[in-house]
Amino acid sequence: MVTYVTKADESKQLFNREKVVQTCLRLGADHNTALLIVGQLERRLYDGIPTREILQLIFSLMRKYKPAVKYLFDLRRGISLMESKPEFEVFVRALLLNNGFDVQPNTILRGFCGLHEVDALASKEGLTYFVEAKHHVNYHAFTGLDESRIARAILEDVNEGYMRGVTNLKIDRAMIVTNTRYSEHAINYGQCRNILQIGWASPEIGLRDMVEKNKLYPLSCLRGVSAGIRLKLVDVGIVLIKQLLDQDSHYIGRKTGLSKLEVSTLIEKARLTTEMWY
């Protein structure tokens, strides 16, 4: 039977079992387990099923094989739950650092006509980028043309300042990092203007790939961890599950003011979920 699924924008597409397999693998299932889950899920399909319901079914079925799934939000939703400032900005800088960039946070750039506050400076392989982090609560929304236009204007002003001797800092490219996809107009403009656009599944560098390649999952993917607790951790530079497990529990409690029980519960959830991926 041919089954269509309904995407968030209400468009329809054919059910693709390989996408389910890949989701299961990303959650730590082996290939045989992923195929078992696809078979179980296919028996529950109906024509027009929303993609969000499919994802809920995958998580529900995965719990039998990976019980720690109950502590997790899927990556896309977890990132959307972040506070735009400062949590997502710190997350972006952590991703860049763990993907081979040298990073300087929160920098003021001097242009010929004015000053520009950017979320980071990043350099790699001899190129220097200024970084703008654009977070969306609705991860189905598109990052549009305006962000790329603004980035281009900043780059032009800073480089004019460099050529006229106002600043000795030369910026090679603008970089925009977002948790959504870019609109078609934004993609075309970015390619024309040589802007590095990192989005959810961008072809040059994708946000999902940056996370999954080195298991750089954010704390916002852990269920039951409030924004208040996460922000206390962000204040001491901890935004990733991996970073949390690299720190001593006494240090975390002392620096954040979290209780011993809060810290131990958090670390145990982090440990269990991390074991799923190895």
pLDDT in tens, 118-139: 999 999 999 999 999 999 999 9
The reported pLDDT for the residue numbered 275 is: 83
- In angstroms, rounded to a whole number, what is the distance separating the alpha carbons of residues 47 and 5? 7
Tell me 220's DSSP state.
G
- In angstroms, rounded to a whole number, what is the distance separating the alpha carbons of residues 77 and 152? 30
CATH architecture classification, 83-213: 3-Layer(aba) Sandwich (3.40)
Domains 83-213 and 218-276 share a fold: no
pLDDT in tens, 61-103: 999 999 989 999 999 999 999 999 999 999 999 999 999 999 9
Domain residue ranges of the chain, discontinuous segments joined by +: 4-65, 83-213, 218-276
- In angstroms, rounded to a whole number, what is the distance separating the alpha carbons of residues 227 and 141? 22
- In angstroms, rounded to a whole number, what is the distance separating the alpha carbons of residues 80 and 219? 12
The reported pLDDT for the residue numbered 8 is: 83
- In angstroms, rounded to a whole number, what is the distance separating the alpha carbons of residues 177 and 130? 11
- In angstroms, rounded to a whole number, what is the distance separating the alpha carbons of residues 23 and 144? 27
CATH of 218-276, one of 2.70.98, 1.10.150, 1.20.950, 1.10.760: 1.10.150
Joined together, the tokens standing for residue 88 give 């997502």
The reported pLDDT for the residue numbered 1 is: 65
Low-confidence ranges of the chain (pLDDT < 50): none
In which residue are the tokens 């720690």 written? 68
Average pLDDT, the chain: 94
The reported pLDDT for the residue numbered 278 is: 66
- In angstroms, rounded to a whole number, what is the distance separating the alpha carbons of residues 187 and 196? 10
